[in-house]
Amino acid sequence: LIAAASIGQVYKGYLKSGEAVAIKVQRPECEKIIALDIYILRQLSGTLSQMISLLRRDIDLRSVVEEFGKLIYEEIDYLQEARNAERFAELYGGDPNVYVPRIYWRFSRRKLLVMEWVEGQRLTSPTIPMEQKTGLVRSMVQCSLQQMLDKGFFHADPHGGNLLCTPDGRLCYLDFGMMSQVEQFQRYGILEAVIHMVNRDWTQ
């Protein structure tokens, strides 16, 4: 066992060809537990929305729960995660400072994901030289800006456990279960806001 989370566990394995792979296995009854949780949240959201409206606050909790449920169900579909990984690689894998593991479709299923094993260190590792850490942060910022402002398809969970420094110094992204999309009009809005901030155009 290499890593464990609420939805699944990750193991290291080897194919008959000798290639090392990461094997992500979904926990039993996971989908049933999530369905019950979402159902309870839906029921509570109606009552809470009424209470919030009494405070003159216009918050649609039911829509929040619906969006949350949509994201969670996408995250537990490992074939969707595999598609996300391949799309991420197509859009950003051309960056020489970024690495995306390869998916082994032949062995992957809805509750089982097999992908390339990547050797590397967590970005918080004390053995990574400070100069190299600075370069990794720069790569992450540049890639994040490209995701948010150029292509629009972005990794929505880039915490320390989902990022590695490869032996050759590249930034490796892991776990593509939670992704999202920034539409073009939203990207323009973000750019306009940044430009106004830089120019100190507060009234705009």
Catalytically annotated residues: 157
Asked if residue 136 lies in contact with residue 171, where contact means CB atoms within 8 angstroms, the answer is yes
Total length of the chain: 204
Rounded Cα–Cα distance for residues 15 and 38 (Å): 37
Distance linking the first and last C-alpha atoms of the chain? 53
| Tokens describing residue 54 | 């009494």
Q: Virtual CA dihedral for 31, 35, 41, 44, nearest 10 degrees?
A: -150
